[in-house]
């Protein structure tokens, strides 16, 4: 049984990579029709392609969509029993960061030997990462903890995953005797706006199984996601001069405010947890004559998803009745579905990941994601892709943080995963 551990020099290289990547502003833009949606993603993609070439990868490619692909060739000798049976494994992460929080000019704060107290963010001392609100900080005493300065997000979602994949590639280059099958590296764009796999060609990628490094807590393996739809409600009113509006104006702004306020509190993301579904109004745009309200609809089953969408339609009909003259339209667009049913078709995909976590010295935490990853769509496209922990905390927030030791454990977990797949594939069928 093989168990792999990182050295101090590996951890230093991992930190340097991460700090290099978060310096690039890669926020995606949900309102852009370009692909990728922002130029900054291309800047990081070019950097990653260069680094993959420098690390000796083959087939390094940056596509017109900003995806970066590369191959780490297999090292199994010709007579190894797993040589022709181990699958090509994909390692994936996304380069973009969340569009709703500032992401330019990230100034990382690196705290060595974290002592266990609240963390004041120097760029905005009113922003404090409090131990009371972040119980995982107690697990990271003595670690190297990285935050932003409090004026931007950090970008651990998912540049921690990006840095971890590159560190795996670098470690394999420096340990050519480590036996593994072929590896396909993939970095995607626009994951945060739900378009991370829009141009992803699974067949040409050439992997039979893949893993995203886009999770959070130490030891997590996520094999379920929400089912997700996006809903847009358009409310059309009638605008006239407010001084002469009696009996004539139909105010779409008031109708939209009533719609949002009418949602049951137990439908909202801020009041739900675990496997509870939610309906999330996250953007309102418009004026008296027309307002659009955008919603995220999330549930772990399609049936629950439909129930939330029907509830939204009922609320819209009630608003139409309350505001005579308002015309309402509800458009629902599918985003992704729960990947569990696809992962269950080949139990080895999850079993190998859980064993890799154990070999890293951790207790596996099998969880369902209250969100989505590129792996959800890829699984339905024929590439089973569960999600592994990358270590980041407080995603999408200026209070985002990550432990270097947890990132190191993610690298070790991937290396152990490669070994588990070789051992599993060498067994007689």
List active site positions: 96, 191
Q: Would you call 203 exposed, middle or buried from its count of C-beta atoms within 10 A (0-12, 13-18, 19+)? A: exposed
* Paired residues of 229 in beta bridges: 297, 334
Question: How far apart are the C-alpha atoms of 160 and 220, rounded to whole Å?
Answer: 15
Cβ–Cβ < 8 Å for 354, 364: yes
Question: Which is nearest to 234 in space by CA: 261, 260, 251, 256?
Answer: 256
Closest of 42, 162, 26 to residue 102, by C-alpha: 26
Alpha-carbon torsion angle 345, 348, 349, 351, nearest 10: 120
333 Cα distance to chain centroid: 20
Length of the chain measured in residues: 429
d(CA 328, CA 162): 43
Q: From the CB of residue 424, how many other CB atoms can be counted at a distance below 10 Å? A: 16
Whether residue 55 contacts residue 38, with contact meaning beta carbons closer than 8 Å, is answered with no
Using CA atoms, how far residue 353 sits from 261, 362, 364, 378, in Å, is 43, 12, 9, 17
DSSP letter (8 states) at residue 12: H
**Strand bridging mode 387-389 / 209-215:** parallel
Whether 259 and 300 have beta carbons less than 8 Å apart is answered as no
Q: Write phi, then psi, for 350 (nearest 5 degrees).
A: -80, -40
Distances (CA, A) of 60 to 66, 91, 170, 171, 228: 13, 14, 15, 18, 33
Query: In angstroms, rounded to a whole number, what is the distance separating the alpha carbons of residues 341 and 183?
Result: 25
Q: What is the rounded distance in angstroms from the CA atom of residue 283 to the CA atom of residue 289?
A: 17
Burial 324-336 (b: 16+ CB within 10 A, else e): eebebebebeebb
């Amino acid at each position: 049984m093989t168990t792999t551990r990182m050295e101090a020099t590996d951890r230093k290289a991992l930190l340097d990579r991460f700090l290099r990547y978060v310096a690039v502003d890669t926020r995606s833009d949900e309102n852009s029709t370009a692909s990728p949606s922002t130029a900054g993603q291309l800047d990081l993609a070019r950097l990653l392609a260069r680094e993959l070439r420098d690390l000796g990868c083959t087939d390094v490619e940056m596509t017109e969509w900003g995806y970066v692909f590369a191959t780490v060739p297999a090292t199994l000798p010709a007579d190894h029993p797993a040589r022709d049976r181990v699958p090509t494994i994909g390692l994936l992460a996304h380069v973009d960061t969340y569009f709703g929080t500032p992401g330019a000019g990230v100034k990382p704060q690196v705290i060595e030997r974290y002592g266990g107290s609240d963390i004041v963010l120097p760029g905005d001392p009113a922003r404090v990462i409090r131990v009371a609100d972040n119980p995982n900080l107690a697990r990271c005493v003595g670690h190297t903890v990285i935050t932003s300065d409090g004026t931007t997000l950090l970008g651990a979602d998912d540049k921690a995953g990006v840095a971890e994949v590159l560190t795996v590639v670098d470690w394999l280059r420096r340990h050519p005797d480590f036996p593994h099958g072929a590896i396909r590296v993939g970095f995607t764009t626009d994951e945060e706006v739900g378009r991370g796999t829009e141009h992803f060609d699974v067949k040409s990628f050439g992997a039979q199984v893949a893993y995203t490094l886009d999770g959070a807590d130490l030891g997590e393996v996520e094999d379920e996601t929400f089912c997700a739809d996006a809903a847009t409600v358009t409310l059309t009113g009638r605008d006239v001069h407010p001084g002469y509006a009696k009996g004539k104006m139909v105010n779409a702004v008031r109708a939209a405010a009533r719609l949002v306020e009418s949602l049951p509190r137990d439908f909202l993301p801020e009041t739900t947890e675990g496997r509870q579904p939610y309906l999330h109004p996250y953007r309102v745009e418009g004026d008296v004559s027309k307002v659009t309200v955008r919603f995220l609809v999330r549930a772990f089953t399609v049936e629950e998803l439909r129930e939330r969408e029907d509830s939204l339609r009922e609320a819209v009909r009630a608003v139409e009745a309350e505001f005579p003259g308002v015309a309402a339209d509800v458009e629902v667009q599918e985003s992704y579905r729960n990947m569990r049913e696809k992962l269950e078709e080949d139990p080895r995909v999850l079993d190998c990941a859980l064993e890799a976590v154990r070999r890293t010295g951790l207790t596996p935490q099998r969880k369902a994601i209250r969100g989505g990853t590129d792996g959800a769509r890829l699984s339905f496209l024929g590439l089973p892709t569960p999600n592994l922990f990358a270590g980041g905390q407080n995603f999408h927030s200026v209070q985002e943080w990550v432990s270097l030791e947890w990132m190191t454990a993610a690298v070790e977990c991937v290396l152990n995963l490669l070994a588990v797949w070789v051992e599993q594939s060498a067994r007689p069928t």
